[in-house]
Structure 1
């Protein structure tokens, strides 16, 4: 060909295919346009992805934008003809010159070689002020041909004004290392070219398709992995069958439209050895050369994988070391179905060998799934049984549960270690009946194993200890406090074998800590917390630190050490988030308790943030206390927002969850808070019905029990609820006797948080009994214990008549001597000592008796109308006892002890009409 004129060359070769640089009917992709524009300086833009990722369409759209901006754009689509570098160069030149007729070139122009054409093109645009872009599509066509040298020369000699844009579905053979090192290349692969969820949604809208559910667009994008042809085929299927849900559920690589594309455009074009490798390796979710050698029975797997990559066969690297790979999920599904149709007997042996190899390399989870797919449930159970303790220690309990539930029950029953691990998980999900059943299954199996002549007695002893541990955990979650304490003391004191299992040791120390804390025994809790942390440090089980923090922090709060409780909960939450992120239920184990502490310290924004985020996550697994803290704090926040009905609904949800899961601690705790709200609203009849329905009035703590030595925190909550109920029913002496007994008990136990609560209640009962000075002393005691802990909300949330007494004490300073200045300042900011309007409209003659408040005016008016105390309480949302207390205040201020005379005196003073 040397020495021919351009006209002779052009007429001797077939004309290149013309490319209309106009956008097709597809969505705009500004995300990628911006990326391309941002790399305008790059010498080479390289799009490489298998068929169907929209490479050509994207470049058409972008090239049209460039042409509109005044750039010179040339486009060449390659095929087998372009293996000849002279044809490649000539077509490139023709694309640049606007496809002139051959006669348009001077007859005397001589072309000696393709280098000359490339050099002339580069020289032509070296001084051109316009940006020049050369788009070369289907560049994989010249892989291994002489034309590749032509393309390399063009890239190397291109002037700064020229940019080469290449699209290829397979390897081109171009050396790219130097360009990468010099940062002169932009590479876009399948992950870049794939549709994102928003692009999938817009494409569906473009096609006039509205999925029945907005989530379907996201689901379609995930199922297709953004593969554009897959999404287009889905849309075509919808035209024939508009049932979105059914098509999407069956949108797999086995579907005929998808399978035909893969068969025609990818699989059938490969040689027999590649086809065989594709089919066999598709059985594994991910694969490596070593795994393929062991499982597939095929030699040279490294080379085969490289050839699959070079051919653009929907294979994706999973690391930067070229070790692990996977197929696009639709392509993998197509291959597996093809293998099942052609060679069904191959699958089980491949899966079995893969499971054995993966087990040997420590990939136990993948090994388990391979064994199951290979119809080897015993092998799968054996793999999981040997690794379940390790997986639990890594915080992978949900994964172990999911795997174990895939095994047939009769096979699971043969593996007591695995059964006991699953029982622990079910117990943490509050599925006590199921957990107890599994513990019983394990005990029976251990009995059978002990009868075997080759029994491993060391293993059996250890598993018997695990049985004891699981039974203790069930008692912990069921709030069987005394049996739990006894079991923990027994196991920690007499089982040296536990020294070899620090996780179990830590769990027993935590449970003993919990049992003693719930019985107001604080003498050993610091020691028990320290020992639990020591054991967890030995095992490296960071997840256990979260549960240790939850139990220890609640003890600090009950003792009134709020700063220490906050620090403990915050440390536990940091560990949880480090292990599993902010959106995992593990964080809820401590987060809701931390929210409760923030609420008590009047740090409402912090409490609300934690509750809003973690309450939706807290019901999947964890401790009962996280549920109690979460729902009760949420209800109190509702009350703070004057959303009484929402607060009650929250507590009803908690009680129903407690009833369903047999969590008496939650059910009763939520009911106590519900009762408190109803009584605060003056809804005595509702409160009485609730107490009877939830068993509060028949609970062992409902009456004073001086002979009983062991009280629990739950007993205290029930006793407080019953005191409120007695007071509302005019049983003030009974209520005061029970409250004083409990106040003495918790004060002696150094439970300062509980002491504050009981002091406030005693003050209320004394006020209702007319003993104002004694009530002031009780409230002063409460303030003294609350100040170091900054328990502001205990007083801000106090109802009448305590609220009035507190305002008076803040105003006068009487009884506030033992509270710190800082605490008094906080209270004064939250509780107005002289509420506006309380002294408006009163006669000066009344000053010698005291100020009549607006609420007292309301009550006097109702008394004047002849309403009895109970009806006044119903109308004003007060208990009958509180109405009586208000009347006592009115009598003191008016200097009159007669109901009728008090009304007359108030009318004469003009206080009421």
Structure 2
């Protein structure tokens, strides 16, 4: 379970409703629900108090289908939180290993688009071996359009054996007509949920309400079969002797009837119970400790027992009688009454709840109660404590909702205002973000010189840089930072240690890495940014390391291999020490590619193998999968098909799969293997499924790689026109971004394709560009790539072991390295060289840095390739 989610509240939200005594059996509706499982979606739509939850509770205890339950509330108006709860609910239905992977995967959502996440989510649900129903209760509490859109996508693409069941007070907030026409939708309405006269009679008898048939019929007519109305009457009749008068007073809407009956119930309660219920009604979920804090009592458990004994709409949320909630209709009545009649007590109760929950670490709920109490200073202090955790969880809409609840932006501290602006950028509200930043800039200009002013300037640099980068306005960024970069000293680690990669094998594949987009502007900005951070001692901050790694990957793509190696040295040790897989794995994959480009094949393999050993203790299997895929790619380059096949077998993917974007790197590797096995049709099928996904995600790296593979496969099958078209699309992206290594690493086969493409271009009737708006591919770019292939071949023939050393090893370092080759321990080396063991470690570390390695084995392999040990 993820440490950022509170286990108690998570359990209660995913627990099935506890079985109630004396409920009325409703076989006609149970049968309707059972038949609805043949379709795609069931919607139970009715106002409060019509028994939606009770009906579902009855059905799930009679169905042989596996059922998972998610109880929703206003706090779930966040796509990240919503889908994580769904994943947590469904995971127990899988095999243990798959379940853990599934739950871990759900925490990559902030770094993936919702579509990419749902593709993978749906794919992983195939692992559930039996029919399952996912129940979303109280769906009307969700107002976030992104959740509605994502649920439609899920409903459309989910496996057939997964049925979606929604209970809501309102109609579906998304279109359902297509499913209705296809007979894939079942809707159960208030009219169907109403008790029949016979069911009303059964209810009264089950609740020991002694009524004459005439009274039951009159009650049925007055309540129109409304379940909550009948339940309220059963409570009221305990102290009411004039049945005719009570029943005659049922007039108006269900809401009006409920208010009347609740008032009747409340008026006849002992004063201490009435006060207790009134104050504790503000809690969405309550236990004895929360009740004691809010009601200012010490007997919370005893009071809850008294309320249960009176059947006062208290619903258990677990099987241990620890957590409860009031019936929503009852809670709404009590809250409205308290807020209307005693606003001061309303605020006091909310603040008491907030302080109590905060001491228990339940900060999500504590912040909501603080805002309801209009205790904005206290709410901001809680936000300052909790914001970093919520950011790590990726629940940006939740943070934005809280910050939007403050009455005026000017009342927020500079730190919180910066966070607000940053979240607006992340959520794509660029105009709002710009206005918020403009206000902060005015605040900055009005401040006296000092540390607070510098800290605000530092935050402005980060947030405004994000805004301008997101909008692609590089020139404005240069204008904004001109003359101030050297004066900015970052103070707040909040923004500078955000983990930008939770799921990708290369940083350039992430949004932070601009999905592969490259230009001289991005290089210049990256260098300016890292220079400032390193100058002021922030070289090991995550944002700096990610920028450096992204630049290193970009330099590799631009074929600037020495520049690439210099930057990889910077990020490797820091990413290892910080244990950040999203940085470490891309570094090792890029280093392996660099060694391969230098002809150091054994060292390239050892780099990936050593990285896999280093990550072996991590539970997230996906990071090791990327390393296996990277090794398979290198094996395929030298024709090692059987060994590459063994590597890919560890990934548990198949040519028959429907590939998902979050595993694009692995499936592209599988397509390469299939092509090497002469299984062109199977490889092309995978590529044709992946290409729209890459386009949707705007992944330039993926589109180029897919286009190159398609070109090679089509060419081999004799489909020259299709091959040249696919290659042309890849070259368009490549030229616009200066790509080189994508067209070099394929070696001779890519060189031949480029030569064919150049020849085709000379044929007058071949028209590769179909649309006027499409960019062309220049002859100069094609010629440059062909020239690089020729140079690469010449270098491979003349200097297969050319050095990539940034700084030569000293004779003493070479002597130490020779002892390492002989297997000497640090202690033995210290004795032979008259050094301390600590000095040996320091010198060994320095050698690693010069060679660009991270282990003894790698150091020896690198030194042998470079011929260094011959001098020893």
- TM-score under structure 2 length normalisation: 0.46
- Calculate the TM-score normalised by the size of structure 1: 0.44
Larger radius of gyration: 1
